[in-house]
Amino acid sequence: MIVEDESIVAIELSDYLEDLSYEVVGIASSGVRGFKMAMELRPDVILMDVNIYGDEDGIDLAKRIKEELSCAIIYITAFTDTNSLERAIETDPASYLTKPFNHKELEVAIKIALKRAILQKDEKKGGIEIDDEFSYDPFSQQLLCRGEYVHLTKQERELLQLLIEANGQLISSIDVESRLWPDKFPSESTRRGVVSRLRSKLKYQFIETVSGQGYRFRF
């Protein structure tokens, strides 16, 4: 979402973000409209101009929005005075870009902001504590070991999600194959390979093989 009172700047930002394959859900020019739009659309990231129409500036608006939503704020502004910067920092922004900025700066800022937005949502949603060492976040399908992300392939993520969703119930080998390869017919060795790799990343814990039937997750 973009909050910018200069329509030409707002349109240019929107066009550039869409060229990067991001969805711009809305554009607002005032604090009143910006707050209402944010509550309705619940964006992941807001590009927030500091100087906007209305009784409050972009920093005040960002503070109000963040009291209601888990979203990342990128300030875009011509203001570089110490007071504005200190007020902006208090809202914990993902970035603070001063005009004029180049497109590469904005692209990097967006990537950082999206990552922050995901982490904020994860914190609110909470994760699943597998044991004292491992945890899993079903929202982002991320496995963590002692707080560090464990790299999983697409098939490994799908398998772990399926096993945890089952909540200890047996998942047949056929169901595993249908979930991981919906348009293919994998060999038994391919399925076993994915299970084996995921099991090793879990330090050979939690995944139980039921001979001739399938798998279950014990935690």
Domain CATH code at residue 38: 3.40.50.2300
- Same domain for 114 and 200, yes or no, is no
Backbone CA torsion sign across 8, 10, 11, 16: positive
Identify whether residues 101 and 165 lie together within a single domain: no
Q: How confident is the model at residue 180 (pLDDT cuts 50, 70, 90)?
A: very high
Nearest to 199 by CA among 143, 118, 117, 119: 143
Please tell me the total count of domains within the chain.
2
pTM for the whole structure: 0.55
C-beta separation of 48 from 62 below 8 A: yes
Instruction: Say yes or no: 16 and 95 in one domain.
Output: yes
Report yes or no: 3 and 43 within 8 Å, Cβ to Cβ. Answer: no
**H helices then E strands: how many in the chain?**
8, 12
Give percent above pLDDT 70 in the chain.
95
Tell me, yes or no, whether 157 and 182 share the same domain: yes
Q: Do 164 and 79 share a structural domain? A: no
Which residues does residue 141 pair with via DSSP β-bridges, in sequence order? none
**Rounded Cα distance, 160 and 158, in Å:** 6
Tell me which residue range forms the domain holding 53. 2-125
Q: Which two tokens stand for residue 198?
A: 């995921």
Among 98, 125, 152, identify where a domain stops: 125
Phi-psi category of 70—alpha, beta or left, where left has phi over 0 and alpha has psi -120 to 50? Answer: beta
183 shares a domain with 170? yes
* pLDDT, tens digit, 9 for 90 and up, residues 124-177: 444 688 998 999 877 667 889 987 888 889 899 999 999 998 888 999 999 999
- Consecutive H or E run containing 24: none
Same domain, 118 and 132: no
Q: Give residue for tokens 């973009």.
A: 2
Do 109 and 207 share a domain, yes or no?
A: no
Enter the tokens of residue 10: 């707002």
d(CA 168, CA 166): 6
Same domain, 64 and 136: no
Phi-psi region of 193 (alpha: psi -120 to 50; beta: other; left: phi over 0): alpha
Residues 106 and 155 in one domain: no
Helix axes 82-90, 58-66, angle to 10 degrees: 10
Where a domain ends, among 109, 125, 141? 125
* Predicted confidence (pLDDT) per residue in 137-147, tens digit: 776 678 899 87
